[in-house]
Structure 1
Amino acid sequence: MPRLNAPLPAPVEKSKAPALIDPISVRIAIAVSMTGLSRSRLYELIKSGELEVVKDRSSTLIMVASLREVIERRRSR
């Protein structure tokens, strides 16, 4: 028969949420959602050299700093 006033087990500490980290690069799909620009427009900016990218095998990573610079240039026009 179980004891009714047995001590409760110690609570398990929940893991904390990971710290938010500013990414240095993002994939095309994320850049689209960040900026509202279309995939086609992003590829045009990449082709013209306005956006700095890093290729890793089949992945294209857009440098966030470059993305911000392009948006700021457009904003100041």
Structure 2
Amino acid sequence: MSDAKVEEMSFEQAMGELEQVVSQLERGDVPLEQSITLYEHGAKLKKHCEAKLKEAEEKVAAITFDGDGAPKGTTPVEGL
């Protein structure tokens, strides 16, 4: 597990670490207590990835287009 705080990770960092957690849990060779810790960490990573994706979706949805279909700017999304 990375020493970086989950909330400070980029989407890519969190996703990579989540993949490592899942891999370790799927192997089944981790002691029970460590499995619980890994599962909790994985849940935090999943939540963080979902939040980052939602943020990106909102930014994309806020892009406005001109009559030719070309982006002409963005409309600020509340809270971003």
Normalising to structure 1: TM-score of the pair?
A: 0.25
The structure whose residues are more often strand, as a share, is 1
The structure whose residues are more often helix, as a share, is 2
Normalising to structure 2: TM-score of the pair?
A: 0.24
